[in-house]
A and B are shown apart, each in its own frame.
Chain A
C-alpha cells in the first residue's frame, strides 16, 4: 500500500499533519486536543451530528459553529475548539445547558456516576449553574427493556447511539426511537424485550445512565472497583474483555476493543455470562459419591488420595471440553500420557492446521468483496461476532452468499462444500478478496474450507470451531509430552475435564462403560448418580493461561478473581507428582500484549485436500433428517445466569415450508417429534429457506432423539 496522502491543518494554533480523510475529532486527539462528543461513535457508521456537543469554529466555513464530528481534516483548515474560541465555548456550553434542562441529575444514585461522559463533559465544558425554571420531563422509571437492561428515560439525552447500534450494526431493528421531538423516547415494540444476541452493547454505548445493566445495578461505585483486562472464554472468537471486580467478585464484563477481532462489540453471553460463578450448585470442595444421589465433601488430601486410587484402577480415558487453557490441557496430557501411560482421549472436536495457510484477522471479512458462508449452522450461534463482521461487509457492498441447509444457496445437509465447488467457483476466483467461512458441522477442523480456499483462490478462510479453545487443546495434548504411550483397548477410569464434556451425551454414554468416573467441573448437580469423584473446576474468569482463538491468535487469559477452590494447575501438579511427573503449577505468561497480534500465515507441508464425503440424501416424504445445533445461549454457564434465561431458544423444531405444509403444520403449532420409540413435544417453526427433508433443533431440546425423525401434529 502506498503512503496515505497527508493534509496540514491547524487546531487551536497547533499545526499538524494527518492522513487525508481523518475525522476532525481524531485529528484533534492526535494533537492532544479534546473535541467533546456524545453521539459521535465511528463504529456506528457515518457521523450524524445530532447532539451538537462538538461544535467548533471551522474556517473555511459558514460564520457559525460547525459540528466537528461531521467534518474531515482538509488542507488549510483552521479549527478552534472551546479552548481558543469564544464562539465554540459558548456553543458547547449551550449544548450542555440544553441537555441538562431535562436531565434529572440523580448522579448520586446513578450507576454511571463517576464514569459518565455527561458528568465529565459538564465538568469540563458545561455551565456551572442552571437557569431553567420549569418542571423537568418525567417518566416512569426504570423500564426493563429486557431482563438484562433497564432504561431510564429521564436520564436519556437522545443521542441515538443505541438505536443506531440496533439498526446499523446488529441490524436487529428492535430498539428504536418512538414519537417525535421532545416527546421522543427509546423503546422496544410494546412490552416485548430487546431480545437479540448483542443487546448488551447499548449499555456501554450509552453516554449517560439511561441504559444500565440489571446485573450491575447498585452493585458498585467506580472508585471501588478494579478492571482486569482479559479475553472471553465462552466461544472460539475470544473477544477482548475487561472484568470489573469488587471485593473479589466479578460484577460485570465490558468489551475491550480489539479492532481486528471484535471492534469492541461483545455478545450477551460474554457480557452477562459470569453470575454462574456464584451459583448455588458451584463446587467449592472435592466431592465423593455417597449412595445413589448424594455427594460428600472431602478434604483436598483425601480427594487426591481418592483420585490416585481411581486413576490407578484401570486404563484411563480423558475427555476434554475444549474450554481448557493450553496450560491445563498440557498438564492433563502429561498426567495421563506420561504419568498414567495412556493415550486414550476424547477430543472436543476435529482440528487441522491446514487453515493456518489462510489465516487473516476477522476484520478481513469486512474488507472482502465476496463472503461465502459454508455449512449448516447459523454463524451467530457458533461465533457471534463473526456475524457482525459479515453484516459490516454487506453494508460496505460485499456480496454475501450462504451455502447450507437454509442458505441463499440451499443444499442438502452435508453437501455444502460440493455446492461451493460446483456453483461458486467462478465467482470466488473472480473476486478481488473472497473470504470463505465454515460454519459447521464437520469440516474436518478447517481442512475442508482450507482445501476450497486453495482450490478456488480465496484470500482468506475461517473455520468456526464448536469450542472456545478446541484446536489448541488438541495440539496441547499432542505437545504435552514426547512420550508415545499405547492407546489401551479398553478403559477403566474416565477422567472428564470441564462441564461441557460432562454434559455431553457422548461422554455420558462412555461413563456407563467405565468402572470409575472422575470429573473436573464447576457444577455437580448434573453429575449425581454417575460420577464417583468431583474435583472443583474454575471458570475462564478465574484462570491464568493461554487461549488460541479461531483466527489462531494466542491470547492471554488473566485471573480476574480468585476461585473458591484451588486452581486446577496447582492440584493437577500435586496429583501428577504421585505418578512421578513434574508439572509447572503456574501458567507462564505467554503474551504481555494488551491486544494480541495475529501470527503470520503458516503453510503446513502436509495439507491434504479431500472433499468431505457427501451426506446421504434423504428420501422425500420419508423421515426427516434432524440437524442439531448448539445455541449460543445454552450450556452450563448460560443455564445459571438469570438475566440470560429470556435469550434461550424456546423448545422448537424448524421445518421447511413444504415439509410443514404436507404435514398440515402451521408455524406456532405444537408438534410431536418421534424417532425410534422416543418422542418430544416442540413448537413448530417454519423457515422458508430451509431445504426440504431436513429439520433443525437446538441440541438441548432433542437429546433423546436420533438422526432421522418424523414430525406430526399429534
Chain B
C-alpha cells in the first residue's frame, strides 16, 4: 500500500476531527483527494481508506454512488451542461451540441489534448437562468450557443497561461 503523503492524510485528519464519527469525513476526504489528483484512482481510494481506516472497497462504494466523484481520469477543465427540463426547454441541447462541435468531443468525453472534459449533468439548480453550464464547478447562467465560443476561449487562455508558467 502506498504511504499517504503526509499533507493529504493530515488534511483528512483535520476534517475527520470535526465530526462525531470519523466515517462522516469520507465525502470531504474523497473531494480533497480528487482535487489533489484530478480523479479518484485506485491508489487515491486506497489512500483515503488508509487515512480513515476504511477499506478501499468501501471508499469505492461511496465514490461510485455520487456523480461528482470521478473514477476515471478527466481533463484539466470540466464543462458540465445541465440538460434537465428547464434548461432543455430553452435550448440546452443546442448549447451542448455547440460545445461538442467546438471542442471536437462528445458529451462524456475529453478533448484530445486532455484539456477539457465535456458532460451533461442533472439539474444544477439554476432553472430560471437557463441554460446553466458549470465550468470548473462555477455556474455560467443564460448560456446560449453563441456564448460557447467565449467560454472555450477563456478556458484555453487559462490553460495556456497555466502551461506558460
Assess A/B contact in the complex (Cβ within 8 A): yes
A190 interface residue per 8 A CB criterion: yes
Chain B: which residue is nearest A175 at the CB level?
B57
| B37-64 vs A, Cβ < 8 Å mask (1 yes, 0 no) | 0000010010000000011111011001
A410 interface residue per 8 A CB criterion: no
- The answer on a CB contact under 8 Å between A189 and B57 is yes
Residue in contact with B54 in the complex, picked from A173, A180, A188, CB distance below 8 Å = A173
State the majority secondary structure of interface residues on A: loop
Give the Cβ gap from B76 to chain A, nearest Cβ, in Å: 26
| B58-81 vs A, Cβ < 8 Å mask (1 yes, 0 no) | 101100111000000000000000
Q: How far is the CA of A188 from the CA of B45 in the complex (A)?
A: 13
Give the Cβ gap from B5 to chain A, nearest Cβ, in Å: 16
**Residues of B with C-beta under 8 A to A190:** 42, 56
- The answer on a CB contact under 8 Å between B65 and A176 is no
- The answer on a CB contact under 8 Å between B55 and A178 is no
- The answer on a CB contact under 8 Å between B57 and A180 is no
**Residues of A with C-beta under 8 A to B65:** 179-180
**Residues of B with C-beta under 8 A to A179:** 64-65
Q: How far is the CA of A163 from the CA of B55 in the complex (A)?
A: 13
- The answer on a CB contact under 8 Å between A180 and B55 is no
Give the Cβ gap from A688 to chain B, nearest Cβ, in Å: 11
- Contact flag A176-B60 (CB < 8 Å), given A189-B45, A190-B42: yes
Chain A: which residue is nearest B57 at the CB level?
A189
- The answer on a CB contact under 8 Å between A174 and B55 is yes
**Residues of A with C-beta under 8 A to B1:** 667-668
- The answer on a CB contact under 8 Å between A173 and B57 is yes
Q: How far is the CA of A189 from the CA of B49 in the complex (A)?
A: 12
- Contact flag A178-B64 (CB < 8 Å), given A189-B45, A190-B42: yes
A570 interface residue per 8 A CB criterion: no
Q: How far is the CA of A185 from the CA of B65 in the complex (A)?
A: 11
- Contact flag A173-B58 (CB < 8 Å), given A189-B42, A189-B45, A190-B42: yes
Chain B: which residue is nearest A668 at the CB level?
B1
Chain B: which residue is nearest A189 at the CB level?
B57
Give the Cβ gap from B61 to chain A, nearest Cβ, in Å: 4
- The answer on a CB contact under 8 Å between B61 and A176 is yes
- The answer on a CB contact under 8 Å between A188 and B64 is no
Q: How far is the CA of A172 from the CA of B56 in the complex (A)?
A: 11
Chain A: which residue is nearest B54 at the CB level?
A173
* Listed residue (B42, B56, B57, B66) with the most chain A CB atoms within 10 angstroms of its CB: B57
Chain A: which residue is nearest B63 at the CB level?
A178
Residue in contact with B61 in the complex, picked from A177, A667, A668, CB distance below 8 Å = A177
- Contact flag A178-B54 (CB < 8 Å), given A189-B42, A189-B45, A190-B42: no
* Listed residue (B42, B45, B54, B55) with the most chain A CB atoms within 10 angstroms of its CB: B55
- The answer on a CB contact under 8 Å between B61 and A178 is yes
- Contact flag A180-B64 (CB < 8 Å), given A173-B57, A189-B57: yes
- The answer on a CB contact under 8 Å between B60 and A173 is no
Chain B: which residue is nearest A190 at the CB level?
B42
Q: How far is the CA of A178 from the CA of B54 in the complex (A)?
A: 15
Give the Cβ gap from A181 to chain B, nearest Cβ, in Å: 9
Interface residues of A in 178-206 (CB under 8 A from B): 178-180, 187-190, 192
Q: How far is the CA of A669 from the CA of B91 in the complex (A)?
A: 59
Give the Cβ gap from A422 to chain B, nearest Cβ, in Å: 30
Q: How far is the CA of A180 from the CA of B62 in the complex (A)?
A: 10
**Residues of A with C-beta under 8 A to B61:** 163, 176-178
**Residues of A with C-beta under 8 A to B56:** 189-190
Subset of 17 A-B contacts with CB under 8 Å: A173-B54, A173-B57, A173-B58, A174-B57, A176-B60, A179-B64, A179-B65, A180-B65, A180-B66, A188-B57, A189-B55, A189-B56, A189-B57, A190-B42, A192-B57, A667-B1, A668-B1
* Chain A interface (Cβ < 8 Å from any Cβ of B): 163, 167, 172-180, 187-190, 192, 667-668
Given contacts A176-B61, A178-B60, A178-B61, 9 further A-B contacts (CB under 8 A): A167-B58, A172-B55, A173-B54, A173-B55, A173-B57, A177-B61, A180-B64, A189-B42, A192-B57
